[in-house]
Amino acid sequence: MKRKICVVTGSRAEYGLLFWLMKEIQKDADLELQLIVTGAHLSPEFGMTVNEIEKDFRIDAKIDIVMSSDTPVSISKSMGLANISFAEAYQRLQPDIIVVLGDRYEIFSAVSSALVSRIPIAHIHGGEVTVGAFDDAFRHSITKMSHLHFTSEEEYRNRVIQLGENPERVYNVGSLGTDYIQESKLLKKEELDINFGEKNLLVVFHPVTLEDDTTEYQFGCLLSALSDLHDTKIIFTRTNADTDGRIINQFMNDYFFKNPNKVELLDSVDRSRYLSIMQYVDGIVGNSSSGLTEAPYFRIGTINIGDRQTGRIISPGVINCEPTVGSIRRAIELLYSDEFQEILKTMELTYDEGNTAESITNVLKETDLTGILKKEFYDL
């Protein structure tokens, strides 16, 4: 009988990372891929990306958690609805293993329902630290509810073990993001339908969810710094479905209408197009993890603003700065300096173990699940 591997996805960014892993599972004769789609994928506001997923895979369950608002109350209600709906989906699908990636609230709900349903959980990208977001607590909580762990760096593997997980169940496999870069055929510049400028910056900024009322100020500072650039095309991608995310999206709309010749505003960008754009820009500006994990592979710099990603391993190609106009301006000047451009050419890459999707698939296939639900705390 085939082992049923149920993958859960709730956002476009995480789906792109999971894509090649699902392809590996799908082509293995001993495994059956199940797919549950939830979160922003089912929201018209965020592009109804479920329609794109259906072109790639059969979807076994769609769980709409009704993200009509981004307030704390609304998100808490969405989490409650997700818990109920995931439990019903698991009862129907009867998976052998649940596979999740990352740290979002809808993934936390998926995992807590799987735990109560007594289904083994495999977690990808545990052990990482992001001080500025409540994703940090979700990620560590998911680790403690999971039974197999796939980390992107040895330091993160050690941290999962530090949380009391058995080293025999914790695998350092690198990042799925690098798999996508290596396996996918990225689009050529003329296929992207973007009017690139002489200089180009890709802006990816998300709310700092552990700070009260800072989103408007921080993003306003970023826009003020970008306004000084008169020969640079600014390419915005909209934020995820996070608390205060709509504030950022409205700022982007307003800035676009005031600067239509300077700005490209992208609604919902799939992984292939996002990485294809990345390879043609001079740098990433914002606070997205993609600037730390994927941008270095294109030998482009990242300006990492504020605390959202504080705690992650960074390469020499990342410039950390404060969320102030002056600090962002200085970071942009450094990004374009000859000295920094030389660093990008020779820096050592991080998050690169190679064949990540294949390594994870082999563990999912070969691990003996007998008694795996009963975990003992591993003391250092």
pLDDT value of position 293: 86
Considering Cα of 77, then 113, then 239, then 190, what sign does the dihedral take? Answer: negative
| Res 45: pLDDT | 76
Q: What is the pLDDT of residues 323-377, one digit of tens each?
A: 999 999 999 999 999 999 999 999 987 776 678 999 999 999 999 999 999 999 9
CA distance 282 to 299: 9
Question: Maximum CA pair distance of the chain?
Answer: 62
Output phi, psi for 302, to 5 deg.
-130, 130
Give the pLDDT confidence score for residue 211 in this predicted structure: 59
How confident is residue 82, by pLDDT bands cut at 50, 70 and 90? very high
Label residue 20 left, alpha or beta by phi (over 0 means left) and psi (-120 to 50 means alpha): alpha
Q: Could you tell me which residues are beta bridge partners of residue 204?
A: 286
Q: What is the mean pLDDT of residues 105-133?
A: 92
- Domains identified in the chain and CATH numbers: 3-174+353-366 (3.40.50.2000), 189-346 (3.40.50.2000)
| pLDDT computed for residue 367 by the predictor | 97
- What pLDDT was estimated at residue 212? 62
Q: Mind listing the pLDDT tens digit for each residue in 143-191?
A: 999 999 999 999 999 999 999 999 999 999 988 888 778 777 889 999 9
Q: Indicate the length of the chain as a whole number.
A: 380
pLDDT of residue 376: 94
pLDDT digits (tens, 9 = 90+) for 282-329: 999 999 888 988 899 899 999 999 988 888 888 899 999 999 999 999
pLDDT of 281 strictly over 70: yes
Q: What is the band of 68 on the pLDDT scale with cuts at 50, 70, 90? A: low
The residue with greater pLDDT, 70 or 77, is 77
pTM to 2 decimals?
Answer: 0.81
Q: 317 vs 11, 155, 340, CA distance in Å? A: 27, 19, 8
Q: Is the pLDDT of residue 47 over 90?
A: no
pLDDT tier for residue 241 given thresholds of 50, 70 and 90:
low
Q: Mean pLDDT, to the nearest integer, of 17-29?
A: 95
Tokens of 230: 């008169």
* Position 220 pLDDT exceeds 80: yes
pLDDT reading at 41 higher than 60: yes
